Amino acid sequence: MDFELWWLLGIPVFFALGWIAARVDIHQLVSESRSLPRNYFKGLNFLLNEQHDKAIDAFIEVVKLDPESADMHFALGNLFRRRGETERAIRVHQNLLARPDLPLEQQGHAAYELGMDYLKAGLLDRAEEIFNSLIDTQYAAQARRALLEIYQREKEWPRAIEAAVGLQESGAGARQKEIAQFYCELAHDALVHMKPDEAMPLLEKALQTDRKSVRATILTGDVLLARGDVEGALTTWRRVEQQSVPHVALVAQRLMDGYTKVGRAQEGVNLLRSYLEEASSIDLIEVVFKAVIELDGVEAAKQLVSAELRRTPTLLGLDKLLEARMMDAPAAIWSELSMVKNLVHGYTQKLARYQCSHCGFKARQFYWHCPGCNKWETYPPRRTEELNVMN
C-alpha cells in the first residue's frame, strides 16, 4: 500500500515537471522565431507564390541585416541562378567560399553551387575544375552528374564514358543506355572519317553494354557495308526487328538498297511488306512505295497505299495515296488532284515530325540525343500524327 501511495503522490510532480519543460520549449521557440528578420518570412512567402523577383529583394535585405547567415546566401545565390543572373549567383557563392569561418560541410556545398553557376553560365572549364575537386567528398554523385553533362556538351565521349561508369559503380543508377550511346558516337565519328576498322570494336563494346542498342546494330551494319560485306550488313540490319520492330523504319532504306545491290530487290520488298504488317509506319511505307513502283508498277503501289490507309487512316497516308493517284490520273482531273495534294501536303508537313517523349521537342529528323532536353533515346521512331492515331 505504501508503494502505491508514493506512486500516486509522484504523478502530480511528474506532471508539473513536464508542464515546466514544455513552457520552456515554447518560450524558446517563440524567442527564436521573433529573432528572425521579418523579411525572411516575406521571402519564403514570395517563394511559395513563385514570385522570385520579390523573394530576391526580401532575402537581400536579410543578408544585409545578417551577413553571417550562410543559409540566406545559399538561397539567394540559387534564386539568382534560377533567374539566369549567373554573375550575381557566382559572386554570392564566391563570397561564401572566401569566408575563413565557413564550416567544412558548407564549404563543399558552396563549391558545388559555384560549379553549378559556372555550368549554367557556360564556363565549362571552371565548372569542370570545381566538380573534379568534389569527387572525393559527399557531393561526389552530384559532381559526377555535372561532369557527365559537361563532357556530353563538349562531345568528349571517352571522358563521358568514364564519368557514366563511375556513376553506375557508385550506385547512382544504371547508365548502360548512355554508355552504349557514347560508344556509338565514337564509332560514328570513326565511320565519318572512313575508319571502319576503328569503329567495329567500339560498337562491340556498345552492344556488350546494352544488347538492345538499336543504334549500335544499325552502325554495325554500316561498318560491314563500308568493308564491302553487303550480305553481312543485311543480316545485321535485320536484327533490328528482334530488338524493336518500330525501329525497322530507320533501316528500311538501307535494307532496300542492300537487296537491290545484291540483285534480290523483290526479296527486299517482300521483307519490308512483312514489316508493314507488324508495325505500319509512314517512313516504311515511303520506302516500300518507291520500290513497288519500280518493280510492280503504279497500280500495285496504289493498292499498297490504299490498304495501309484503310488500316491506319492518317493525313500522311492520304498524301501518299494522292501522289500515287496523280501518277496515272486523266488530264481532266489531274489539276484538281494536284490542288488537293498540295493542300494536304502543306498541312502534313506540320505533322511529319518526330517528338521527344520527355520534353516534347519536335524535329523533322530522327534524333538519338534530344536537342531540347539532352536525353538519350527519347524519340519514338514514328511521326507525331501516327502516335496520335495509335493513342
Contacts of 92 (CB under 8 A, 6+ apart): 73, 76, 77, 80
CA distances from 187 to 54, 177, 244, 281 (A): 50, 15, 21, 28
Contact between residue 139 and residue 166 where contact means Cβ atoms under 8 Å apart: no
Residue 359 assigned to a binding site:
yes
CB 182 within 8 A of CB 156: no
Q: How far apart are CA 233 and CA 252, in angstroms?
A: 13
Q: Which of 295, 300, 291 is nearest to 324 (CA)?
A: 300
Place of cell 540566406: 72
Q: What distance in Å separates the CA atoms of residue 373 and residue 360, rounded to the nearest whole number?
A: 9
184 is in an annotated binding site: no
Residue 330 φ/ψ region, left for φ over 0, alpha for ψ in the -120 to 50 degree band, beta for the rest? beta
Cell of 91: 559572386
List, as residue ranges, the binding site for Fe cation.
356, 359, 370, 373
List, as residue ranges, the binding site.
356, 359, 370, 373
